[in-house]
Amino acid sequence: MDNVTVIEDAGSSAIADWIESRLRSALAAGEGPLAITVPGGSTPFPIMEELAKAELAWSRIVIFAGDDRVVPLDHPASNRGRIRAIFEPVGAEVAPLTVMEAIPHFALAWLGMGADGHIASLFPNTDPQVDDPAQVRQLTPDPLPPEAPFDRITLTMPSLLDSDEILFTLGEGADKRAVFDAAVRGEHDLPVARLLAAASQPVTCFA
């Protein structure tokens, strides 16, 4: 896939700088609000904390969680709660993710990936489709991850693909890198492979 770039061994600050440069360019290209989606999980939050230090027009940026656990906002497992704690103090809006929410076009769709090839909360058992008519779905992963045994709400494939750029941050683990590389080569049909096969925009993966 000619649209996929893999960058190795970058730390949280370097990834945050990359995201900042993309957001700065997108903000300069227009005057209205700018929407992005960001992932949960352990890898992204240190990057978000670095990104929040950037001198950006945060009041123009609307942030959506790519997925969330169906728990109260103040629950430790709430992605949106943790994202709000980082970005609302600098002036960004952190939008709710509900099945009734209208999802905008994203300047950047930032994703993680599980070792099973899931993205957002589009797990293999949910059989996500690139032509899903819904923008958001509530679903139950199977098996439920023991560290987060909750139903999920998630952006669908079409919502993630409705973006100018896609970013993956894989974190540590040779298993994840192997799954991602095999997806790029089209060697399996896991959710990440379905997304990459349908993506025409630039895709950057920090591995």
Architecture of domain 4-206: 3-Layer(aba) Sandwich (3.40)
Residue 130 has pLDDT above 90, yes or no: yes
Query: Does residue 108 have a pLDDT over 80?
Result: yes
pLDDT over threshold 90, residue 202: yes
47, with CB counted inside 10 A (0-12, 13-18, 19+), is buried
Pair 86, 58: CB distance under 8 Å: no
Q: How far is CA 171 from CA 118, 125, 164, 204, in A?
A: 14, 23, 23, 14
Residue-by-residue DSSP string for 177-195: HHHHHHHHTT---SHHHHH
Residue 129, classed as helix, strand or coil, is: coil
Q: Is 114 a residue whose pLDDT tops 80?
A: yes
- pLDDT tens for each residue of 177-193: 999 999 999 999 999 99
pTM: 0.95
> How confident is the model over 57-91, as pLDDT tens digits?
999 999 999 999 999 999 999 999 999 999 999 99
